[in-house]
Amino acid sequence: MKPETLKLSSYNLCFLGFGNVNRTLVQLLRDREQELRDRHNIAFRITGIASRSLGWIADTEGLDAHVAQPPSAAIPLKSSETSRDIKSWLSAAQADVLFEATSLNVQTGQPAIDHIRAALEHGAHAITANKGPIVHAYRELRDLAAARGKRFLFESTVMDGVPIFSLFDQLPAIHLKGFHGILNSTTNVILSEMETGLTFDEALKKAQSLGIAETDATHDIAGWDAAVKTAALITVLMDVPIRLEDIYREGIRDLTTNAVRNGRRDGWPFKLVCRAQRTGDGIKATVAPEKVLSSSPMGKITGASSYIYFETDIFPGLAITEENPGLYATAYGMLADFVRAVTPSSK
């Protein structure tokens, strides 16, 4: 059957957390709207937007007119009952797909886990950019999605929109032995700036001014963000649940400008490196600053770029480099997950 003869399928989209990621996703969806129709037979309507500042907003006729500017929490719902929680909101919006982009809770993964669980129980596909649910509840949410005939997808959680998780979906019966790489852009930018002579605090301020580092960059500096990404990769791709406390973690705060400059001068720059390796009784995983050879792939990673190297039983080395991504890369990962979720051939 030719694509143009297929019936156009329309979906109600809900956005939980309406900060930079989901706002950029809305823009990208609009940019690609005609392509989604022509190539994938997908149409959509935005029927739900929710955040701490906006409250729970739903309108089954569409919120498109309010997306270009911050919508008002005073917009009346099309439901006879005002939504006060995610379950009633999803119902009022008649959600088919939830895009979850709330803040990371390193310790518990909440409330994102409950958000995703509610979406799946409602009967919607759940797509997230939040790493917490992968680390703390991956198997539960994966199994719930399968039981409900829905998809739980999370490509944007590691290396933005680079198809890491979906890549391994296309590599059946392959065994991942280990991986290493640079997965946190904030620390990489800070170290790159320290190589030029800036102090740690000056380098952090520059990363913040560039919009790469958060106002509170503790999770990045202390290695938590990299550790959570490492745990997510281990949990999903190596099929071994791992606790964050089982990953040795060391941040970059104690590195001095002299040490960082001298490392680069000597051909051995510092990088915050994530590592995981299968052992006889499980997985050994670390996140820590390391000196790496400047001519090696990791040594060439600068600025906001990322890199990962996979060791498998079939491919001794399979590497991916991402060059200085922006918000559109993260948003693209969620858009790609949307297409995978609703396209039969992708299931």
pLDDT in tens, 66-97: 564 543 444 444 443 446 799 999 999 999 99
Q: Provide the residue type at 293 as one letter.
A: L
Could you tell me the CATH superfamily of domain 3-161+328-346? NAD(P)-binding Rossmann-like Domain (3.40.50.720)
Pairing, β 97-100 against β 9-16: parallel
Q: How many CB atoms lie within 10 A of CB 262?
A: 14
Q: How many residues does the chain have?
A: 347
Query: For the domain 172-324, what is the CATH superfamily, name and number?
Result: Dihydrodipicolinate Reductase; domain 2 (3.30.360.10)
Q: For the chain, give the mean pLDDT.
A: 92
pLDDT band at 3 (very low <50, low <70, confident <90, very high): very low
Of 10-19, 49-58, 126-135, the range with the lowest mean pLDDT is 49-58
Main-chain dihedrals φ then ψ at residue 31, nearest 5 degrees: -60, -35
Cα Rg, the chain, nearest whole Å: 21
Phi, psi of 85 (to 5 degrees): -155, 175
Which one, of 42, 33, 38, 32, lies nearest residue 3 by Cα? Answer: 38
User: If DSSP codes are grouped into helix, strand and coil, which group holds residue 309?
Assistant: strand
pLDDT at 6 over 80: no
Cα-to-chain-centroid distance, residue 181: 16
Q: Indicate the pLDDT class of residue 174, thresholds 50, 70 and 90.
A: very high
Residue intervals of the chain classified under CATH 3.30.360.10 are: 172-324
Full DSSP string of 87-134: HHHHHHHT-SEEEE-----TTT-TTHHHHHHHHHHHT-EEEE--SHHH
Per DSSP, which regions of the chain are E strands? 9-16, 42-51, 55-58, 97-100, 125-128, 152-153, 176-182, 248-249, 270-279, 282-291, 306-312, 318-322
Q: List where CATH 3.40.50.720 sits in the chain.
A: 3-161+328-346
* Structural contact between residues 226 and 183, judged by C-beta atoms closer than 8 angstroms: yes
Cβ-in-10-Å burial (0-12, 13-18, 19+) of 4 comes to exposed
Task: Give 278-332 pLDDT, tens digit per residue.
Answer: 998 899 999 999 999 999 999 999 989 999 999 999 999 999 999 988 889 999 9
Yes or no: say if 203 and 221 are a contact pair by the CB < 8 Å rule.
no
pLDDT in tens, 235-292: 999 999 999 999 999 999 999 999 999 999 999 999 999 999 999 889 999 999 999 9
